[in-house]
Structures are given as C-alpha cells and as structure tokens.
A and B are shown apart, each in its own frame.
Chain A
Amino acid sequence: MADLRVNFAGIKAPNPFWLASAPPTNSGYQVQRAFEAGWGGAVWKTLGEPILNVSSRFAGTHFNGQRVVGFNNIELITDRPLEVNLQEIYETKKKFPNHAVIASLMVEPKQEKWHEIVKKVQDVGVDGFELNFGCPHGMAERGMGSASGQVPELVEKQTYWAKEAAKVPVIVKLTPNITDITATAYAAVQGGADAVSMINTINSLAGVDIDTWKTIPNVAGKGAHGGYCGPAVKPIALNMVAECARNPEINVPISGMGGVSTWKDAVEFMLMGAGSIQVCTAAMHHGFSIVEDMVDGLNNYLDDKGIESVAGLIGQSVEKYSDWGHLDLNYKVVARINNDVCINCNKCHIACEDTSHQCIDMLTSENGNAYLEVREEDCVGCNLCSIVCPVDGAISMVEIPNGEPMTWNQRQEAIKLPICNS
C-alpha cells in the first residue's frame, strides 16, 4: 500500500482527493458525509456576504449518448450567513481533525474586508484559505471573483491583504478566463500566496433550446453566462497547471482541478505538477462514493510503479512539457494499418483524404478483398486516422528512425546569415 498522505503547502490530508469549493461543499452535513466516504479534504463553498440565487442553475452538456461531458452553472457563492457556515466548519473539523478543511473566501477588493473575513474564519480552525478569484458569473459583475482574478495587480494586492491576516496557508484560486494564467499565478506568488489552485470554471452558455429559442438554463426565459466544468475542460485545465508548473517564477504548490473524473485524470494532473486534486463535477454526477475508486486506483497505480508515496509522482512529467520551438522536427511517426483487425469501415481513408494528407489508399487484393494501406512516405504522422478509427489496434503510429534531432529553434539559428562556406 502506497502512502497517499499529502502535505500541500503545509495543509495535511490523508489523501490528495479534495472536494472543490462548489455545491458539494455547501454544508457540514455534506462535507462530513464526503469525509466518511473517503475524501481527504474539502474546500468549503465560498464564504462571503450571503447572496441570493436564482432558480434553474445548472445545465449539462451531453454528447453522443455520454451524459455530462460538460457542466454549466450559474449558482453563486454561499447564500447562508457566515456564522452558520463557521459553526458547521468548527463541528466538521472537530469530528475530522486529520482531514483538510479549507475555506474559500470572496469579498470586495478592499483591505479591511479581507482582514475581517480571514480573521473570523480562521478562528474556527480551518487548515487553510482559498481565495476565490475565479468565479466567472454573478459575483464578477460586482467586481469580485474572476473580475478581480483577471487583473494581476488586484490578485497580488488581495493576496497580500489576506496574507496580512492569515495564520494558515493561503491558496489563490485562478480563473481560466484569461489569455495567460501564468501572469495571474505570478501575481499571486508576488502577493505571498502559499499555493495556487486552478482552474475555476470557464465562461459558457450551455445551449439554446431550438424550439423555444430560450437559453439553457433559463430563468423565466432569460439566461446569463455561467461557468463551464466537467470532463470537457480537462485538457484546458491540464495545460494551465502544466504552464504554471514549468514556470520557475511560480515556485509554489499547485492544486489541480478541472474535469478530474477518475484516478487516471488525477495521476495526469499530478504528473504535471499538481500536489493535490480537487473534484466537483464527477461528484455531482456520481456521488461522493466515486472517491473509493480514485483512492484504490491511485494506490494500485503507485504500487504497480513501485512508488512509495504520492510525492514521488508530483511533477514527474513537467520537464517533458516545453515550447513548440524545442520539439524535434526530424522525429517521425507513420500510421500502419493492421489488416487482420481492420473492419474496412474506411473512416481513416475518408478522414485522411478529406481533411489531412491523402496518404491512405483503398486497394483490392488479388483475391478481390478490399483493404487499406498507408503510403508511409507521404504520411506526416498527424494521428488523425488512429483517432477516428473505431477499432482498437487497427492503426498503430510507428516510430521511424530519421536522423539526429533538430528543433525549430536550432534550425532558425543555423540558417541565419551568413552561413560559412567550407
């Protein structure tokens, strides 16, 4: 059994799986049930001045029979008084002293507001804070959430103000609704953040009902943009975690989230630098018990790899993530079709012929059987055929030896004038 315990920026938890600040962490009842189910930590639904919510708040994006590939919400932060939340946080922490309870906070960008809420909340014994600079809807219209989180100066200042009053670690949660998340991550570090977390939800409109012409969801016929999350956003989140992890100026731990649904997703985030994992949509879709598979899966994976603890996994793939200019232009893979497995659906041929490099031929053998063959010399190794192929093992991408590596950056340096004549 591997050691799944984590010490994330000084916040200790029995495992790296934490519920993200969201509807699943709205109350003590829910968080305590989550801990009983096996979650290692929870980021309490954002505390701030109690808000008013609308009815009809969520929408799922379904694709090709797969439910909830994406999830959209227009629910705001907690609508309960601070004292009620604090009482429940106190009780939860008392019952589960070894689990991580982190309070998500959001107030106006004023020093006294941050001091007030930080002091009040830390008195009940939270293990850390997460500053919500990411919520994209509702609160942003009031100058909070992602409205602050998109301005590096405000991120830095507010982090600094929270740190002035905080005696426990401060995590800054970042919005993905920005061109370069490393800019705001760096601002958080400059403000004294002990860690950053990402990603919050992405601005979204889940859909439009083509019969009623109303938005999905709609509130009395009207809609407003919400925050998008769930499996569909995982690649976006993973890139943002990786970009921060490989930036030497962002030298604080990263809590990764955005579409994590399985232990495999979690491993990917950890390999790319996440020291803890936050989950929301998968828990909303399947319930708290999904954490059992996550814990078991991670445990077995670490055992199989001979890794003693979660720490041995964190950041192991970061050095493999770089800029395009450092990629080897001479590296070559080509597609190969295994005709023993191929069902001749021709999807690869169509995809290649219509939208890629026209290198898969439809041929007929001497005995009259149709088959597909890749002209390897014309194949650029784009992977499209293997992506659209419905049969596992029918198309392999095979590495072809192709000389010494040469990156774009090396090439550009080499062809600069003048080139010496031997």
Chain B
Amino acid sequence: MSSYAEFLEEKKKIDELYEKGYTITAVREDLSGAYLTFERSKLDLNDIEEKIELHILTADTRKYFSNLIIAQQKELI
C-alpha cells in the first residue's frame, strides 16, 4: 500500500471520531508511533465509550493530527 493510502485510512479514523464529537485530549509518542486519546462529553446516559485510543503509524497522519490539535487550541483561545 502506498504511504498516501495508509495516511488516508488513518485520517478517516480520526475524522470519524471528530464527526462523533470526540476531540484529542492526549498524545503519547514512542518508538512505535503516536497514541492519541480521544474523549467526548457524554451526550446521554447510554453513552459508555467516552475514551478511545488510536495508534497512528504514518508521518502524514502525525502531521494531520498535530494540525487538528493546533486548530483545536486556537478555537479555545
């Protein structure tokens, strides 16, 4: 698979979580890549999966989520 295709797959997962109202709340990086923690506020009592972790492998996706975090932080200011 081309690295661009790998990026698109990872980007899709992130975008889907954002669409569901999640945002990135923590980033941990090590030799294996980046681990993103996504959280969202409970919408109703049936919501149980409040915290999700994604393992990001590609460099382009690491750039992508970094841009999202910066945009997220700009919105908060």
Contacts and interface: CB of A to CB of B under 8 A. Distances in A.
Contacts of A377: 2, 4
Given A417-B26, A419-B26, A421-B25, A378 B4 contact: yes
Contacts of A411: 63, 66, 70
A415 B66 contact: yes
A378 B2 CA distance: 7
A368 interface: no
Nearest to B67: A406
B23 interface: yes
Interface in B11-28: 23-27
A140 interface: no
A369 interface: no
Interface string B41-77: 1000000000000000000000100110110110110
A419 B27 contact: yes
Contacts of A417: 26-27
A95 interface: no
A401 interface: no
Interface residues of A, number: 20
Contacts of A419: 24-27, 69, 72-73
Tell me which of B27, B29, B66 has the highest count of chain A C-beta atoms within 10 A of its own C-beta: B66
B72 A415 contact: no
Nearest to B65: A415
A57 B7 CA distance: 57
Given A377-B2, A378-B4, A418 B66 contact: no
Interface residues of B, number: 20
Contact of A420 (B41, B63, B67, B76): B76
Contact of A421 (B2, B4, B29, B39): B39
Contacts of A330: 63, 67
DSSP class of B's interface residues: helix, strand, loop or mixed? Answer: helix
DSSP class of A's interface residues: helix, strand, loop or mixed? Answer: loop
A410 B25 CA distance: 17
Contacts of B32: none
Given A377-B4, A415-B27, A404 B67 contact: yes
Contacts of A357: 3
Interface in A327-378: 329-330, 357, 359, 375, 377-378
Contacts of A375: 2, 4
Nearest to B70: A414
Given A420-B73, A421-B25, A422-B23, A414 B2 contact: no
A418 B26 contact: yes
B66 A406 contact: yes
Contacts of A403: 67
A421 B23 contact: yes
B3 A378 contact: yes
A332 B63 CA distance: 12
Contacts of A410: 70
Interface in A391-422: 403-404, 406, 410-411, 414-415, 417-422
A317 to B, nearest CB: 27
A179 to B, nearest CB: 28
Contact of A422 (B3, B4, B63, B75): B75
Nearest to A417: B26
Contacts of B70: 404, 406, 410-411, 414
A417 B75 CA distance: 17
Nearest to A410: B70
Contacts of B23: 421-422
A378 B67 CA distance: 19
Given A403-B67, A411-B66, A422 B2 contact: no
A418 B73 contact: no
Nearest to B28: A417
Given A375-B2, A378-B2, A411-B70, A418 B63 contact: no
Contacts of B75: 422
Contacts of B25: 418-421
A52 to B, nearest CB: 57
Nearest to B73: A414
Contacts of A404: 67, 70
Contacts of B29: 415
A377 B3 CA distance: 9
8 contacts: A329-B66, A375-B4, A378-B2, A378-B3, A414-B69, A420-B76, A421-B39, A421-B41
Interface of A: 329-330, 357, 359, 375, 377-378, 403-404, 406, 410-411, 414-415, 417-422
CB-CB nearest 5 A-B residue pairs: A377-B4, A415-B27, A411-B66, A421-B25, A414-B70
